[in-house]
């Protein structure tokens, strides 16, 4: 008898078992726009897990631009950027993005995931090394897996471990790839030290600004601006699916590097381009990121207020330095229970469990938007106090 590849599917029960407990937190059907308030299964929830950091995903001007783009260019480009899928709007936002982050050129992929896949795998060839932080985003890891180079990882934000890895491979072409703001932990990469080490060992630096673009830095340019080190970062990657209120991924660098990626990244060449409606949204969202710094200021004030309140309640907020505030709550079961109790109290949050976190250190990942009001924040704090106490997560 031959083996059946479907066997593992027939034997997969984990999700169904979790559903039976009532603690299944995934794939909930949202029936409204993505703001601080959403409708799930007919009832209102206050959201603490969105990446709509600046609140632009339902901004009237962003929606209007998206609609106008669809009307002008249609609903799809029906092909790859490489062949028939590039229009003047793609090129317009590429120029705008490059100027915004201070690089010569940029390239727009269909998603952030595609950007990391395509850029990392094309930049790191045979005999070369990609050096990643252990807590880098999965799309970075996927990009490394697709490359023909060697992959090595250093302990999270541990600069002596990074130096150990770099010294082991001295003399080879090396690319250090880090998240600017780490997506689950909410802490910031140690760019000043990374830059010193990169110079010492002749490595290039690639920063994924998914959670920092629009958020960090006076102008919202991200981690490199936060540290005033724009020239030290060789490649900037950013996704449009968070602060830029759309979907799509950018790579920005000098023209030669962008040109190389453009003609070698398989995830650019072998997939259809970003639909006009999404590009239209990015176009105006970028303008608003630049024109309305008050959104960023409000967001950071909210994050810092909420973090202090959580700490005062007795929550472990880890090393959050951004609008992502992860609360360590215990084992997976506690995280699932807490998610459910919060849900029943009107809060929509995200549990993060093993293997994404070490055993016993599951978290409720909370994140904030410039559009959360004081009433929303007070409601969130009240419910986390009530549920945390009931579960014994806080005293």
Ligand X SMILES: Cc1ncc(COP(=O)(O)O)c(C=O)c1O
CB of 140 to ligand X, least distance (A): 7
> 370 and 53 in contact (C-beta within 8 Å)?
yes
The stretch near ligand X (CB under 6 A) out of 75-83, 109-117, 272-280, 359-367 is 109-117
The stretch near ligand X (CB under 6 A) out of 85-93, 105-113, 315-323, 336-344 is 105-113
Put residue 224 in one of left, alpha, beta given phi > 0 → left and psi -120 to 50 → alpha: alpha
User: Looking at beta carbons only, is 85 or 249 nearer to ligand X?
Assistant: 249
241 lines the binding site for ligand X (CB under 6 A): yes
> 132 and 140 in contact (C-beta within 8 Å)?
yes
> Residue 227 has which token pair?
């540290």
CB of 121 to ligand X, least distance (A): 14
User: Looking at beta carbons only, is 137 or 372 nearer to ligand X?
Assistant: 137
The stretch near ligand X (CB under 6 A) out of 121-129, 205-213, 323-331, 335-343 is 205-213
Of residues 155-194, which lie at the interface with ligand X (CB under 6 A)?
A: 179, 183
Q: In the Cβ-directed half-sphere of 67, how many Cα atoms lie within 13 Å?
A: 7
User: Looking at beta carbons only, is 69 or 210 nearer to ligand X?
Assistant: 210
Q: Which residues are catalytic?
A: 183, 211, 242
Choosing from 137, 295, 307, 376, the residue that interacts with ligand X (CB under 6 A) is 137
User: Looking at beta carbons only, is 115 or 388 nearer to ligand X?
Assistant: 115
239 lines the binding site for ligand X (CB under 6 A): yes
CB of 135 to ligand X, least distance (A): 10
* Listed residue (148, 142, 92, 136) closest to 115, CA to CA: 142
* Listed residue (322, 278, 288, 331) closest to 303, CA to CA: 322
Choosing from 50, 111, 212, 320, the residue that interacts with ligand X (CB under 6 A) is 111
Choosing from 52, 87, 139, 320, the residue that interacts with ligand X (CB under 6 A) is 139
Tell me the angle at which helices 191-201 and 159-168 cross, rounded to the nearest 10 degrees: 20
The stretch near ligand X (CB under 6 A) out of 161-169, 208-216, 349-357, 371-379 is 208-216
Cα gap 128→174, rounded to integer Å: 6
Element spanning 43, H or E:
strand 43-47
Strands 129-133 and 150-154: parallel
Cα gap 379→249, rounded to integer Å: 34
> 143 and 118 in contact (C-beta within 8 Å)?
yes
> Residue 138 has which token pair?
């999965």
276 lines the binding site for ligand X (CB under 6 A): no
Chain position whose Cβ is nearest to ligand X: 112
CB of 394 to ligand X, least distance (A): 28
Choosing from 187, 208, 225, 332, the residue that interacts with ligand X (CB under 6 A) is 208
Binding track over 277-316 against ligand X, x by CB under 6 A:
----------------------------------------
Cis amide prior to 391 (ω within 30 degrees):
no
133 lines the binding site for ligand X (CB under 6 A): no
CB of 116 to ligand X, least distance (A): 6
User: Looking at beta carbons only, is 111 or 371 nearer to ligand X?
Assistant: 111
Choosing from 113, 262, 295, 365, the residue that interacts with ligand X (CB under 6 A) is 113
User: Looking at beta carbons only, is 136 or 225 nearer to ligand X?
Assistant: 136
210 lines the binding site for ligand X (CB under 6 A): yes
CB atoms inside a 10 Å sphere around CB 127: 10
User: Looking at beta carbons only, is 179 or 332 nearer to ligand X?
Assistant: 179
Site size for ligand X, by CB under 6 A? 15
* Listed residue (388, 263, 369) closest to 33, CA to CA: 369
3-state secondary structure 203-230: EEEEEECCCCCCCCCCCCCCHHHHCCCH
CB atoms inside a 10 Å sphere around CB 22: 11
Q: Which residues contact residue 101 at a Cβ distance below 8 angstroms, ignoring those fewer than 6 apart?
A: 209, 213, 221, 222, 224, 230, 236, 238, 252
The stretch near ligand X (CB under 6 A) out of 75-83, 111-119, 367-375, 387-395 is 111-119
Binding site for ligand X (CB under 6 A): 111-113, 116, 137, 139, 179, 183, 208, 210-211, 239, 241, 247, 249
């Amino acid at each position: 008898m031959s083996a059946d590849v479907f066997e593992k599917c027939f034997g997969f029960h984990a999700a169904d078992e979790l559903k039976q407990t009532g603690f299944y937190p995934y794939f909930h059907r949202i029936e409204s726009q993505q703001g601080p308030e959403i409708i799930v299964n007919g009832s209102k929830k206050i959201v603490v897990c969105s990446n709509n950091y600046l609140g632009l995903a339902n901004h009237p001007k962003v929606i209007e631009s998206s609609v106008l783009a669809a009307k002008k260019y249609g609903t799809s480009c029906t092909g790859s950027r490489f062949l028939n899928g590039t229009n003047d709007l793609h090129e317009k936002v590429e120029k705008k993005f490059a100027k915004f982050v201070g690089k010569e050129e940029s390239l727009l992929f269909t998603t952030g995931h595609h950007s990391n896949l395509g850029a990392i795998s094309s930049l790191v060839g045979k005999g070369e090394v990609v050096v990643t932080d252990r807590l880098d985003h999965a799309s970075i890891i996927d990009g490394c897996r697709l490359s023909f180079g060697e992959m090595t990882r250093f302990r999270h934000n541990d600069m002596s471990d990074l130096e150990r890895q770099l010294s082991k491979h001295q003399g080879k072409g090396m690319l250090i790839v880090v998240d600017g703001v780490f997506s689950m932990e909410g802490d910031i990469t140690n760019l000043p030290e990374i830059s010193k080490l990169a110079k010492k060992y002749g490595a290039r630096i690639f920063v994924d600004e998914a959670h920092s673009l629009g958020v960090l830095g006076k102008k919202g340019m991200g981690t490199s601006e936060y540290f005033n080190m724009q020239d030290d970062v060789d490649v900037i990657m950013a996704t449009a699916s968070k602060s830029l209120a759309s979907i799509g991924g950018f790579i920005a660098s000098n023209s030669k590097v962008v040109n190389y990626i453009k003609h070698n990244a398989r995830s650019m060449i072998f997939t259809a381009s970003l639909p006009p409606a999404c590009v239209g949204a990015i176009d105006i969202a970028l303008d608003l990121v630049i024109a309305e710094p008050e959104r960023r200021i409000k967001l950071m004030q909210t994050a810092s207020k909420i973090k202090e309140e959580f700490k005062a309640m007795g929550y472990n907020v880890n090393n959050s330095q951004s609008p992502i505030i992860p609360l360590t709550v215990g084992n997976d079961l506690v995280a699932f229970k807490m998610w459910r109790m919060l849900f029943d109290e009107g809060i929509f949050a995200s549990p993060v469990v093993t293997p994404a976190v070490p055993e016993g250190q599951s978290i409720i990942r909370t994140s904030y938007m410039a559009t959360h009001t004081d009433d929303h924040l007070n409601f969130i704090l009240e419910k986390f106090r009530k549920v945390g106490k009931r579960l014994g997560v806080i005293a």
